[in-house]
Amino acid sequence: MIAIVGRPNVGKSSLFNRLVGERISIVDPTPGVTRDRISAVVTFGPPTDAAEDSLPRAAEVCDTGGYGIYMAEGGRFDDAGKDLAALAPDIEGQILGAISNAAIVLFTIDAQDGITALDERIASLIRKGGNTARVMTVANKVDGPSWEAHALEAAALGFGQVIPVSTKAGSGLRLLREALWQRLEGRTNDQPQSEEMKVAIVGRRNAGKSSLVNALAGEPRVIVSEIAGTTRDSVDVRFEQDGRVFVAIDTAGIRKRKSWADDVEYYSNHRTQEAIRRADVALLLLDATEPISQVEKHLAGELAAAFKPTVLVINKWDLVERARVPKDYLEYITQELPMFDFAPMVFTSAREGKGASDAIAMAFNLLTQARHRETTGKLNALVQRILTERGPSSKLGTVAKVFYIAQVETNPPTIAMVVNKPTMFEGSYERFLLNRMRDEVPFSEVPIKLLFSARKRDPAAAPPRKGASRKKSAPRNKSTSRKKSVPRR
């Protein structure tokens, strides 16, 4: 692991995004935006002057929150009146955890501000941890030659050579990547990697998403707090369990747009949408002690529109005896979320660590279903049998016909059907057809996409146009064909 540490607003998240090559961490002038450890696997290529047989080297780069005072002036309390200072020990604990597990520590400072008292305090903590040889000092915001001398002042911290960079302009990053490649000697990425399953954990605020990740990790990997909205960014946590690899994406809690407090919440919501798009499976976390809200219905609609395999995770089930819940909870869920009446449910207590592994096992099951490809022969026989039982009705008495059926894609399973009139199959009959197909296809618990299209006629086999087959008659001889007119007297 390569851990990026430093005080707030020195550009740690910008440096992380530059190294990863994607905008993963939220970058905002507000101090304290990053709270959890955000990580991604990065491959560093060999320098141009390296040996020809040099291999790329991989590492997990980890972005951490700013150590020390992390909230903006006047922003100590959130929109609900909660004191954000209560999060400080958890944030600092995440930073120290990243430092202790890291093979390389990128101690980042702001060259334009110079060395501050908080920088010296962080350096002192790193020295107490021992093994200062693993520390590399990065001076950020060296946006021109005039700032290079200021960057070199960081050498006084005692961690060796200072690497000046500008995450804004992109300068100095090649030198940093080459230095990291040198430090990663012996750690090559030539080992075969297992295919990863990406699982997005989504839900409203305080539903227990971070608690579920911690239950899987067996440690406080992400901050869990009673303060709503503690998670600001999407946090990727990679797991290897029983020979299977998956990445759990802990997302920020969603609430109504009119309730957003600042720009950071806008970016948090945007990161959640990105997490849904790049995930293979989604875990929609529902709080069993609260009624299903419009936010959760909206999230379920987005997952259904994206044809995302989804596990409905009913969290805090250990507290239902003290909460007001419907007697028939399964029927209540189906009524409130009809778009996922086929999705499996898992009941968990993330706080007690119960049911988390069951949710992941079900996610792997859904991924297997979504990747299944059914044969054309079985699909044709199934649909023809359903049509025999009940076909779409037409006011004009048109008989529905299916000419061809085939599965054209997986994840989601996509079935294309060539029919005589697509409008007859869309709407209510499409829902009926899907429900009947789920009874017999091996991917019954994931969204299925049906594509209806009309049969296109072959232009070569089209009948000739009217009059096109007639042979042209030979032109008449004007001298013989015309009758001589007899002048009237």
So what's the pLDDT on residue 214? 81
Contact (Cβ atoms closer than 8 angstroms) between residue 387 and residue 428: no
DSSP state of 399: P
CATH, range 196-370: 3.40.50.300
Q: List, in order, residues 6 or more apart from 486 with CB less than 8 Å away.
A: none
Mean pLDDT of the chain: 79
Fold agreement between 2-183 and 196-370: yes
What are the residue ranges of helices labelled H in 261-417?
Answer: 263-278, 294-305, 329-336, 356-370, 376-389
So what's the pLDDT on residue 438? 93
Average pLDDT of the segment spanning 338-363:
91
Of 23-27, 70-74, 120-124, 319-323, the poorest mean pLDDT is in 70-74
Q: What is the pLDDT of residues 122-135, one digit of tens each?
A: 888 788 767 788 89
> Tokens 């699982």 label which residue?
199
So what's the pLDDT on residue 54? 83
So what's the pLDDT on residue 34? 47
Percent of residues, the chain, with pLDDT higher than 90: 30
So what's the pLDDT on residue 28? 45
User: Whole-angstrom Cα distance, residue 229 to residue 246?
Assistant: 25
So what's the pLDDT on residue 228? 41
Average pLDDT of the segment spanning 388-401:
79
CATH, range 376-461: 3.30.300.20
pTM exceeds cut of 0.85: no
Q: What is the pLDDT of residues 401-450, one digit of tens each?
A: 889 899 999 999 999 999 888 888 888 899 999 999 999 999 999 999 99
Contact (Cβ atoms closer than 8 angstroms) between residue 314 and residue 286: yes
What are the phi and psi torsion angles at 294 (to 5°)? Answer: -65, -30
Q: CA dihedral defined by 166, 269, 70, 230, rounded to 10 degrees?
A: -150
In this predicted model, which residue has the larger pLDDT, 171 or 210? 171
Q: What is the pLDDT of residues 256-313, one digit of tens each?
A: 554 444 455 566 677 778 888 889 999 999 988 888 988 889 889 999 999 999 999 9
Confidence band (pLDDT; 50, 70, 90) for 84?
very low
The residues spanned by each domain of the chain are 2-183, 196-370, 376-461
What are the phi and psi torsion angles at 200 (to 5°)? Answer: -90, 125
Contact (Cβ atoms closer than 8 angstroms) between residue 247 and residue 239: yes
Looking at domain 2-183, does it have CATH number 3.40.605.10?
Answer: no
What are the phi and psi torsion angles at 245 (to 5°)? Answer: -115, 135
Q: What is the pLDDT of residues 33-66, one digit of tens each?
A: 444 567 778 889 888 888 877 888 888 888 876 6
